[in-house]
Structures are given as C-alpha cells and as structure tokens.
Amino acid sequence: MKPLDKKIIGQSSAAVQLKKMIALIAPSDAPAIIYGATGSGKELVAEALHEESRRKGRFVTVNCAAIPKELIEAEIFGFEKGAFTGAVKSSTGKFEQAQKGTLFLDEIGDMPADLQTKLLRVLENSVISKVGSNAEVKLDVRIICATHKNLNEMVASNKFREDLLFRLNVFPIDVPDLSQRHEDIPEIIEHFIEKKSLKSGSSSRPIFDAKALEVLQKYDWPGNIREVRNIVERAMVFFPKAKISDQDVKKYLLRIDSDIVIRAEEQDAIWSELDELGKNASPSEKMLADANPPSPKDFANFFDTNNSVDLRSLLRDIEIVFIEAAMDRNGGNTSEAAKDLKLIRTTLIEKIRKYGI
C-alpha cells in the first residue's frame, strides 16, 4: 500500500481524484487552501501534502478557532521575554517550529483581521518578527490552510482580506463529503477497527454483515469521517466479537437505543456460558464427550488436529442448536424459550427470523 493510500482511505472516483490532486501539487512550495465540511478529513489531506512533498522539516498545526484572539499572534510568531505580562521567558512560535517544513493553519476563516494583515506580510517577504522584537527571522515554510467556511462570501462581507485570499488560494483543494464516497465506507470502517484494535490491544473486533454494510453505505454521514469513527467506537463497545446486522446498525449504532444495555448483558452471558460449559462434567459425562464431537471446552485443543476453523459459522450453529432445543422444549412458546436462553423475547424472535428457524 502506498503511503498516500494510508492517509486517504478508499478507491471511489472521488477518493482517487483527491489522491491524484495531492500527488500533483505536493512537490510545490506554494500555499494551498483545503475546503471541506467539518469532519471530512481536511487535516489528513494537509498531512498527506506535507508527507508527499518530502520537506525535511516538521508538520506543525495551529487551530485558529481554538486559540484566544489575544494569544494567537504570540502563539504563531513567538515572543521575547518581557514582551507582555506573563512572558517570563522567550518562546519560539509555530512558524519557526515549522522551519523547512509545513505550517497548517486550520480554520483560517477564524483568524483575526489584524493577524490576517501580518500573515499577508509573511507571505510576501518570507520573514517574521517575534512579539516584542525587531529582529527578523528568514523563513522556509510552506503554508497550508483549511476551512469549512466560504471565504469568498467572507471577503464580500469584509470579514476576510481579499488580497490574503489571493495569496493563499494558489492551490484550492475540495475534500468530498462521505455522501459522495459511499463505496469507500466498508474500507474506512475496517481501517478504524484495525486502528482501534492495534491501539487498545483488543481482539474483540465486531463483524459487520453484508446487510449492515449496505445500510451504512446508504447513510448520508452528515458528520463525515468523524461520524464513522464514532460508529466504530460504538460497535467495538456494544458488539465485541459479535456479528452486526442491519437492524443492529439502525437501532444501536446510528442512534443509541437503551435496549443496548440488555443486549450487551446477553452477549456477555452467552460467552460466559460457553466458557463454563463442561467444567463440572461428571466422569461418565466426560467419557460420553470423548465419543462425541468436541464440546466448547475442547475447542482450546482444536488446533492440535485442525489447521483452521470457521469461527463465525461454528458460533452461529451453536446458537441455532440452542434456540431449536429451547423452542422444542417449550412447544414453540417463544416467551418460555426466551427465559431458558436468558434472552428478551424480541431478541429471540429476531434470531428466529434471522436463521429461518
């Protein structure tokens, strides 16, 4: 996999076009503005531009909307000791930290007007001065900006400098919404599951069945990439080691129904029962077990004689056997069968429909 494919996940026409654009303009030192909705992955695009440029310096980020107006100038340009109250020692600003690298100005539309003027001067002269100093520092920094706002409208309403927009907008890049990349959803979900599993060291990854993925591909994703990450977080908490159906997606992932607490308890109970089965078997039961197919307890030694196992199929078959036995035992009464299986009745009915029992 190419490094760029690790940043921009997916092979849809929109994703491929975006990756081609990044590869094309990354070697340039000219400024760029990345446009896109909140959560669409603008910072990932900026990181990809930096990495593909092979600039030797750092990738430094400044969120113009997150820093108080009175502090942002000192944060970006740095300051000398005594420049203002509280400046007990000199500090290097973000520009100098990004020397020979890339400075990413996120939410550039929220930059204060007076700082816009100073940024324009930096773009024209490639020099800065720290707050409280007249000494100039020569820069070799590429500036990449991002915004979810319409900067042309801001220029028209005198909220953004037109000359600054002209200087920054050498390479405008539009990041597509996920609503334009539906075919990439399964790959993006798998990416986040893999990333989360590696980070947490967890092996309890959920499994989305085909219909579940179909529902997610039809969803509009108003929160874009961030919303996908949230869905994966929920899936890993609510459905560890479990298969996720289309109904699970609608009821528990796209929104959170309070029944998920009962569902999670049921899932824990099923795994607990499987772990406990056979532990207290009598000698005669153990002799009988030796003559029969392996019990759940024996699965620990399964790979002594087999190279692989279809775990999903095996767990499904075990679940079907238990449901059929409980239904037979109770003469087809789903309420009584659900009690024996420690399931809520609606869940049992869903499983009966799912398996065609």
- Is-contact 111 154, C-beta < 8 A? no
- Per-residue pLDDT tens digits for 124-138: 999 999 888 888 899
Residue 267, pLDDT above cutoff 80: no
* Per-chain mean pLDDT for the chain: 85
Cβ-proximal residues to 62 (8 Å cutoff; 6+ apart), any chain = 72, 75, 76, 94, 103, 104, 105, 106
Of 13-17, 37-41, 67-71, 109-113, which gets the smallest average pLDDT? 67-71
CATH architecture designation of domain 310-357? Orthogonal Bundle (1.10)
- Per-residue pLDDT tens digits for 303-356: 766 667 677 777 777 888 889 889 888 888 888 888 888 888 888 888 887 777
Nearest to 207 by CA among 311, 119, 127: 311
Of 17-26, 193-202, 203-212, which gets the smallest average pLDDT? 193-202
Residue 148, pLDDT above cutoff 90: yes
Q: Which residue has the tokens 């930290």?
A: 97
Nearest to 64 by CA among 184, 168, 207: 168
- Per-residue pLDDT tens digits for 29-66: 999 999 999 999 999 999 999 999 989 999 999 999 99
Q: Looking at domain 3-176, what is its CATH homologous superfamily?
A: P-loop containing nucleotide triphosphate hydrolases (3.40.50.300)
- Per-residue pLDDT tens digits for 226-259: 999 999 999 998 888 888 999 999 988 988 665 5
Q: Could you tell me what percentage of the chain is helix, strand and coil, using 3-state DSSP and rounding each to the nearest 5?
A: 55, 10, 35
Of 28-32, 214-218, 271-275, which gets the smallest average pLDDT? 271-275
CA distance 195 to 202: 10
- Per-residue pLDDT tens digits for 286-316: 444 444 555 666 667 767 666 676 777 777 7
Q: Domain residue spans in the chain?
A: 3-176, 310-357
Share above pLDDT 90 across residues of the chain, in percent, rounded to a whole number = 54
More confident site: 225 or 289: 225
- Per-residue pLDDT tens digits for 72-103: 988 999 888 877 777 768 888 999 999 999 99
Residue 151, pLDDT above cutoff 90: yes
